[in-house]
Structure 1
């Protein structure tokens, strides 16, 4: 699955910032590919308002 960071984590909750970093994002507009598993789904669900998801 492809995930794109579309909103900046600046000014967001600390745990959400850490989740974005744990997913591997370093800059806005970056696209990262991850395997579809329950751990990644949970992380995506927490910060879904900042991401765009392509299955």
Structure 2
């Protein structure tokens, strides 16, 4: 059985998380300033991309 959110359910994504969401979800998150759009990295570039998006230590 797959999880299906019902009305009033909130799904929280941790900072730095990268993954697929629906276009509607992405549009709302970007409009709220809570997400950014970027092209998916090529193989082997995932860590470099994530490091470039995170604030410096």
> Normalization by structure 2: what TM-score?
0.27
- Structure with greater contact order relative to length (CA < 8 Å, sep ≥ 6): 1
Name the structure with the higher helix share: 1
Larger radius of gyration: 2
Name the structure with the higher strand share: 1
